[in-house]
Amino acid sequence: MTIAPAASARQTGATTVDELAWELPARAASWRRLRTLDAHTCGEPLRVVVGGVDRVPGADMLAKRRFAQRELEPLRRALMWEPRGHADMYGALPTDPVSADGQLGVLFLHNAGWSTMCGHGVIALASLAAECGWPAPGPDGELRLDTPAGRVTAHVEREGGRARAVRFENVPCFVAALDLEVDVAGCGALRVDVAFGGAFYAFADAARLGVRLDGRDTTAVIAAGRAVSEAVRARLDVAHPDGPSDLDFLYGTILTAPDPEGAFGRHACVFADGELDRSPTGTGVSARAALLAARGELGPGQWVELAGVLGARMGVRVLRDARLGAQPAVVPEVRGSAHLTGRSEFVLDPDDPLREGFLLR
């Protein structure tokens, strides 16, 4: 893009941004540098760390996540929080795979910590891998990812030389509670469902809470989601029947509503420290598929589309039934699209008192 040059640029003959010869100061040689690729899926950001971090140790992905929780919090805050990020930023840290046939491990990070799985992140990461060349998906577009919640297999759909869409087969997903009655501050008695889609979510009717999911009522949506999560945590101890206790926590609440543009429904996911997902939430639509299947509202192989607060959609279907011990489960497949938004090199100046970031709501 050509810009009108400033006076200093006119003096040097520079006419475009590319021709402005900015360089880091000499003292930057001692600064820590972090390189990232940024993308979005249905409007939800993903910042992928591609340089400046040592390999993350751990025999499995949950061990790697525990290491990150202990040792990489300054990194998470620096990249997710202001001034480099914002209250609703989301990220991914690639690692070595931990399975014999895995191509990549991945840890997901947000404003409050490290999650166990992220569907919009898988879609964006697979798109970046296909278009940027690492790790290269197989000839059929397959990319096998190791996550803290388990194996997730993505398939890149190409069109015209680009990654047009990504489908991923999620971990087994299941219903933890149907029609659970909770007492929500400011609302009173409310019935919610709870399901696992790579993380545990409560599902509540947005209209019952008096909020709209049109992208304009965000403050009220976040407050309602926080209130429901707090009420569910006080009422129900969630537990994964076939996994370690690292998975046993309610990640957030998904408010649901009809979609005015013809999708099956609309989602607004409030998670972590009041983050609002712009997308329908990949793990959230997986949990919703388990709920719909349990209620007989979603047949095997039947695709439905769910929209986020911006109206952008993800598709989901049940690939097959599964079991986790005695717990009935389903294996969902999710489909969505992502787009590259930029690449960056961030620096951590040791003289900067706010180098590790801050967060304002």
The pLDDT score that the predictor gives to residue 243 is 76
- Picking from 329, 174, 318, the residue whose alpha carbon sits closest to that of residue 238 is 174
Q: Kindly state whether residues 190 and 297 are assigned to the same domain.
A: yes
What is the pLDDT averaged over residues 215-224? Answer: 95
What is the pLDDT averaged over residues 79-88? Answer: 98
- pLDDT, tens digit, for every residue of 30-77? 899 999 999 999 999 999 999 999 999 999 999 999 999 999 999 999
Q: Kindly state whether residues 45 and 126 are assigned to the same domain.
A: yes
Return the structure tokens found at 346.
Answer: 């961030």
Q: Kindly state whether residues 302 and 182 are assigned to the same domain.
A: yes
Q: Kindly state whether residues 184 and 309 are assigned to the same domain.
A: yes
Question: Which amino acids are annotated catalytic?
Answer: 118
- pLDDT, tens digit, for every residue of 308-347? 999 999 999 999 999 999 999 999 999 999 999 999 999 9
Return the structure tokens found at 330.
Answer: 């389903």
Which pTM does this prediction carry? 0.93
Q: Kindly state whether residues 98 and 52 are assigned to the same domain.
A: yes
Asked, for residue 299, whether it belongs to a domain, the answer is: yes
User: Do 168 and 282 touch, CB atoms closer than 8 A?
Assistant: yes
Considering the chain, what is the average pLDDT of its residues?
94
Structural domain ending residue among the three candidates 171, 198, 232: 171
Asked, for residue 76, whether it belongs to a domain, the answer is: yes
- Burial of residue 10, with CB atoms counted within 10 A of its CB: 0-12 exposed, 13-18 middle, 19 or more buried: exposed
The pLDDT score that the predictor gives to residue 1 is 36
Q: Kindly state whether residues 314 and 194 are assigned to the same domain.
A: yes
DSSP β-bridge partners for residue 136: none
- pLDDT, tens digit, for every residue of 238-261? 999 987 899 999 999 999 999 999
Strand ranges in the chain using DSSP code E only, listed in sequence order: 32-41, 44-51, 91-95, 104-109, 114-115, 142-147, 150-159, 162-169, 174-184, 188-196, 200-205, 250-257, 265-271, 275-276, 304-307, 313-324, 327-336, 338-348
CA dihedral 330, 327, 117, 67 (to 10 degrees): -150
Structural domain ending residue among the three candidates 136, 153, 171: 171
Q: Kindly state whether residues 183 and 296 are assigned to the same domain.
A: yes
Q: Does position 129 have pLDDT exceeding 60, yes or no? A: yes
CATH number at residue 160: 3.10.310.10
Indicate the number of domains in the chain: 2
Q: Tell me the residue range of the domain where 101 lies.
A: 29-171
- Picking from 200, 259, 186, the residue whose alpha carbon sits closest to that of residue 228 is 186
Q: Kindly state whether residues 179 and 326 are assigned to the same domain.
A: yes
SS3 for 249-273 is CEEEEEEEECCCCCCCEEEEEEECC
Q: Kindly state whether residues 253 and 309 are assigned to the same domain.
A: yes
Q: Kindly state whether residues 186 and 303 are assigned to the same domain.
A: yes
Asked, for residue 290, whether it belongs to a domain, the answer is: yes
The pLDDT score that the predictor gives to residue 17 is 60
Q: Kindly state whether residues 45 and 119 are assigned to the same domain.
A: yes
Q: Kindly state whether residues 274 and 305 are assigned to the same domain.
A: yes
Asked, for residue 148, whether it belongs to a domain, the answer is: yes
Q: Which residues of 211-222 are buried (b: 16+ CB within 10 A; e: fewer)?
A: bbbeeebbeebb
Distance CA 235, CA 183 (A): 9
Distance CA 221, CA 267 (A): 11
What is the pLDDT averaged over residues 155-162? Answer: 89
Asked, for residue 361, whether it belongs to a domain, the answer is: no
The pLDDT score that the predictor gives to residue 184 is 96
DSSP β-bridge partners for residue 91: 47, 109
Asked, for residue 360, whether it belongs to a domain, the answer is: no
Asked, for residue 152, whether it belongs to a domain, the answer is: yes
Asked, for residue 20, whether it belongs to a domain, the answer is: no
Structural domain ending residue among the three candidates 171, 190, 213: 171
The pLDDT score that the predictor gives to residue 361 is 76
Distance CA 119, CA 201 (A): 14
